[in-house]
Amino acid sequence: MNPHLLIAIPLAPLIAAVIAGLAGHRIGRAATHTLTIAGVAIACGLSLYVLKQMYWDGVGTFNGPVYTWLVSDGVHIQVGFLIDRLSVLMMSVVTFVSLCVHVYTIGYMSDDPGYTRFFSYISLFTFAMLMLVMANNFMQLFFGWEAVGMVSYLLIGFWYTRPSAIFANLKAFIVNRVGDFGFILGIAALFSYTHSLSYTTAFAAAPHIAQQTLPVFGGVNALTLACVCLFIGAMGKSAQVPLHVWLPDSMEGPTPISALIHAATMVTAGIFMVARMSPLFEYSNAALSFVLVIGATTAFFMGILGVVNNDIKRVIAYSTLSQLGYMTAALGASAYSAAIFHLMTHAFFKALLFLAAGSVIIGMHHEQDMRKMGGLGKYMPITALTCWIGGLALVATPFFSGFYSKDAIIEAVGLSHRWGSTYAYWCVLFGSFITSLYTFRLLFMTFHGEERFRHAAADRSHAGHEEHAVHVPHESPLVVTLPLIALAIPSLIIGYLTVGKVLYGNYFGSAIMVRPQNDVLAHLAADYHGPLRLALQGFAGWPFLFALAGFGTAWLFFLKRPALADAAAVKFAWLKRILDQKFYFDWFNEQVIARLGRGIGTGLWKAGDQGVIDGALVNGTAASVGWFGGVVRRVQSGYLYSYAFWIVIGLAALLGWFLVHA
Amino acid sequence: MHDHLLSLLIWLPIAAGVVVLLLGERNIAAGRWLSLAASFVALALCVPLWRDFNTHTAAYQFVQKAAWIPRFHAYYALGVDGISMPLVVLTALMTVPVLIAGWQVISKRPAQYYAAFLIMEGLMIGVFSATDALLFYFFWEAMLIPMFLIIGIWGGPRRVYATIKFFLYTFLGSVFMLAALIYMYVKAGSYSISAFQALPLTLTEQRWIFAAFLLAFAVKVPMWPVHTWLPDAHVEAPTGGSVILAAIMLKMGGYGFLRFSLPIVPDACRELDLLVITLSLIAVIYIGFVAIVQQDMKKLIAYSSIAHMGFVTLGAFLVYAIVKATASTQGAGMGMDGAMVQMISHGLISGALFLCVGVLYDRMHTRQIADYGGVINTMPVFAGFMVLFALANTGLPGTSGFVGEFLVILASFKASFWYAALAALTLILGASYTLWLVKRVVFGPVANDHVAKLNDINGREFLILGALALAVLLLGVWPEPLLKIMEPSIQHLVTQAAATKIPV
């Protein structure tokens, strides 16, 4: 493979981002979006070309350096690329979704004063994400990892005058840093055994490291510790419980980045990373059990929160958390291919759902509360139709893309015998009911039923505000609907087309390593007889029946008899309170952790620095206060130089004493 | 010319400073331009220094030696190796923005202000390039005087308290170092630092000398618990003083550990490394927490400096724990590399952050965080720089702030899981205090009428912040040129530090 071509892939969006960022206001809006779209289009085209080369033309894996970042103590740390079937799939997905989002942004941000800045950021993000995905070493992985987090920080706080946005972006960065704290320790742990940061060395050493014990916590397996630490990084980036708290708040950012960063790409970096590190994780059952349990917990419990939220974007955000949990659970069951496959289908249908939600938000004049929507399907037919496609894919309706990936995850977790797999199985299975419940709730409350936006306007005029005509929603312009259609197509068919190859056809080859005794997907592959048969079988499977139950419940409570939902909320008020408080994670972080941190800081500062060190030791005790005070008085009355003079004299005396004794 | 390059670097700024003083306040226009020209010439002199530096040897280069005080066998001996050369360049580099930053801002006795900074530049370069311990000490102490005057004359309302505290702390620390140097002179018959490094010393002697060095260098770094002079000095110092203090003067402590403690008293270091490591980790964590709750921007950055310097002392002293844990010195050089890169990087980033605070202070005349909010609305370009430097301060990869911390964390894991875990807490703490500052100062709606009336940075300010931003990014993206210069000297230092000097 031509290395220059590979370098061009991340470089094109980087150059576009730099020009847009530094000169965007000078070259104008049209030039900025043309330039950045061209940059991402180049990256996308080249990625697809490399994909074609690798898959159809049989070109082998590329693993090579670009330049030497530094050499320290004989360790060469290089920037370099590992391009295999795993990374090229990620590159293609990332650049394709990014391209759709770039185009969509033209419409969505058209009246925003930060237009050019926004394009610069999302192109910069694309660069950082590509560096992460293409890395062949841990340093570059960490670079991409933190760089995408940095752009996410800038984008969540894009509307920087909103207090909620700048709270959310600080929270996102710090929570991610908690994850990165683990991540860098994991990297350092591996480094301490391999004295190298390249993937290949670490992978080759995995069986050896698995034999080592680290003398901490009474002796732990070194590889387990390293893998758990790496996964803590993934928990931050991919928003797994309890480090998930930043993702719902990240919805403060503009919708295009919710789709690109907080649904399709950045948040899946953790999933990608664990799959990339499969040669390490495979040697630690304990670490994989940890992954499995965390993932399953996230899948189930975060889905539940989607059922009680009324903000259309936040519902999708909770859905994202839950789906990331599914992917993580798949990783924990050693079904890495299923995780990546779900990552891919999810990228399409979740980006679609977010962009559709964005289209609704534009149509509703920046209203995000679903209680003020209803019946929009009539006014926004393309948005409604594409959103339904995304929703059906999300609930794993047979034949839709999400079905093939999610069904495989549930089955794989069911087949796993790892510690925690029974719990995980029930979580992901019941999760299908929950997924279906919140998805159809969203679709019904938004596109069907009573046109509640008419009340909202009526309420406003009743309340004595200036007379408000009803804002009748309208379909969004073509730059918005076109990306919706572009994403709806893969949401519909990509699973059907690729399941045989990606999931059951050994597409990943050596890029993902699974030890034979862990290979649950091999069992599934034995029963695989084509996508058609799989989908037909799917109609009789438990996940579909659970999803059907969720549909029925949503229909009854949110379309047929909405009063029932209110009655239930009153009857189960205690449960509703817990859910409204999001299981009290935010409360705990803000009231306990953050307070504790500030308390420790104040305590150390007032009691330590000012009290003991300055107070008692420096100018505290009676004698030294007097002495110090005297010095200060002397200086103030002009004796400074005589004081300095005495010091010099003292020194000279000391010097003389030494010389005499020598 | 190479024989006199270091002398030029030292005496040219000093001479220029004296001329500016003689020109006086009445010829300040000429004085300003002369100062700027001198600082640029000094920077230009760093070009041959960098270019002709031999990266394959640990020996001193650009050496110059002349008799100085024959009675005490003291020589005017200069030379740089891979440890000191980058620090010389950093000094020359950071003086330029300081002079430019004071251009229209300093109205009180500007000629003396410029002269003080130029003289200090020469003295600081002298500290890094002296290879004779007495000469080193001369520069080390002399340098205090201009800084003392800078804070005392151009400082804030509590400047007297701050200057005295600063002077006493640093001076008292140094006195013990002088005693140690004289003791070794008596034994070695020479003030040559290389002779000291070769001098066999018993463990008891080493312990005493170690203690004397520790006092001198720990105050300069500064390390907990002798750090409380720094926040006070920073708060009272004018912007330029803060920049030099943070960017260069703190580095002298780190440089001292690398040049004196480790190679001269390695056995004492081996015995007492846990003390230094513990103090370093306290700096990272304790000071990190203290930084979170600061209400004064300069104090916050001052505390952040102490926490970042914790990585310098940690990285420098990892060698013994690594040898103990792995029976090999592999990884020790990485810790020292990390310490060095952290010094250079911190010089750039903290300098830039203090300049940013200066930009705000010049306009609003307050450093209280609560007086700001939403600065980005009226100063978007400035906000871009401030956010960049803040992110660099949190150790974001791609900026220089990442390189040193990354290397030190990697190396410390080899020594102990706990060292690495505690040091890595800086990822969380650093992000918390730095970005919370950014949130309160830069982001948000316009907080008050004063913020609403702010003007964005002018060309002069853009130039200095832009140049520093470029350096921070360049060093982050491609640190190899710097590492290449340091590597042979660091490897040599590892050998020295791991050896024993106890006579048998």
pLDDT tens digit sequence for A35-85 = 999 999 999 999 999 999 998 888 889 999 999 999 999 999 999 999 999
Q: Which residues of A touch B397 (CB under 8 A)?
A: 139, 142-143, 146-147
Average pLDDT over residues A369-376: 88
DSSP β-ladder status, A213-214 and A75-83: unpaired
Q: What local confidence, expressed as pLDDT, does residue A530 receive?
A: 87
Contact check, Cβ <8 Å, A189/B286: no
* pLDDT band at A374; cut points 50, 70, 90: confident
Q: Helices then strands (H, E): number in chain B?
A: 25, 2
Average pLDDT over residues A505-525: 88
Cis peptide before B222 (omega within 30 of 0): yes
Q: What local confidence, expressed as pLDDT, does residue A375 receive?
A: 85
Residue B127 CB-density burial (10 A; 0-12 exposed, 13-18 middle, 19+ buried): buried
**Tens-digit pLDDT profile for residues B473-491:** 999 999 999 999 999 999 9
Residue A625 has pLDDT above 50, yes or no: no
Interface A-B, measured as beta-carbon pairs within 8 A, has a size of 173
Chain B closest-CA separation from residue A162 CA (Å): 6
Q: Which residue of B has its CA nearest to A178?
A: B428
Q: Which residues of B touch A71 (CB under 8 A)?
A: 480, 483-484, 487
Q: What local confidence, expressed as pLDDT, does residue A637 receive?
A: 45
Contact check, Cβ <8 Å, A146/B183: no
Q: Which residues of A touch B387 (CB under 8 A)?
A: 154
Q: Which residue of A has its CA nearest to B189?
A: A662
Which residues are registered as beta bridge partners of B65? Answer: B77
Contact check, Cβ <8 Å, B291/A195: no
Ranges of residues in chain B with a pLDDT under 70 are 1
Q: What local confidence, expressed as pLDDT, does residue A634 receive?
A: 53
Q: What local confidence, expressed as pLDDT, does residue A161 receive?
A: 92
Whats the size of chain A, residue-wise? 662
Contact check, Cβ <8 Å, B165/A618: yes
Residue A623 has pLDDT above 80, yes or no: no
Contact check, Cβ <8 Å, A74/B413: no
Contact check, Cβ <8 Å, B160/A636: yes
pTM of this prediction?
0.92
**Tens-digit pLDDT profile for residues A539-568:** 988 999 999 999 999 888 888 888 888 888
Which residues are registered as beta bridge partners of A369? Answer: A311
The token pair at B116 is 């003080």
Residue A627 has pLDDT above 80, yes or no: no
Q: What percent of chain A has pLDDT over 70?
A: 90
Contact check, Cβ <8 Å, B483/A72: yes
Average pLDDT over residues A124-153: 95
Q: Which residue of B has its CA nearest to A216?
A: B417
Residue with tokens 């804030």: B156
Residue A618 has pLDDT above 80, yes or no: no
Q: What local confidence, expressed as pLDDT, does residue B71 receive?
A: 82
Supply the mean pLDDT for chain A.
88
Contact check, Cβ <8 Å, B377/A161: yes
Contact check, Cβ <8 Å, A635/B171: no
Q: What local confidence, expressed as pLDDT, does residue A262 receive?
A: 87
Q: Which residues of B touch A614 (CB under 8 A)?
A: 228
The token pair at A613 is 């060190």
CB proximity A217 to B under 8 Å: no
Residue A413 has pLDDT above 70, yes or no: yes
B378 Cβ neighbours under 8 A, 6+ residues apart:
B446, B451, B452, B453, B454, B455, B456
Residue A662 has pLDDT above 50, yes or no: no
Chain-centroid distance, C-alpha A530? 33
Contact check, Cβ <8 Å, B186/A662: yes
Q: Give the residue among B152, B162, B307 at the shortest CA–CA distance from B235.
A: B162
CB proximity A71 to B under 8 Å: yes
Q: Give the residue among A545, A280, A535, A339 at the shortest CA–CA distance from A433.
A: A545
Q: How far is CA B10 from each of CA A79, B4, B43, B91, B94, rounded to the nearest angstrom?
A: 39, 10, 12, 11, 15
Contact check, Cβ <8 Å, B397/A147: yes
CB proximity A142 to B under 8 Å: yes
* pLDDT band at A643; cut points 50, 70, 90: low
Among candidates B182, B228, B484 on the partner chain, residue whose Cβ is nearest the Cβ of A614: B228
Q: Give the residue among A439, A201, A238 at the shortest CA–CA distance from A332.
A: A238
CB proximity A252 to B under 8 Å: no
Q: Which residue of A has its CA nearest to B432?
A: A174
Chain-centroid distance, C-alpha B340? 10
* pLDDT band at A654; cut points 50, 70, 90: low
Interfacial A residues in 607-626 facing B (CB < 8 Å): 608-609, 613-614, 617-618
Which stretches does DSSP call E strand in B294-349? none
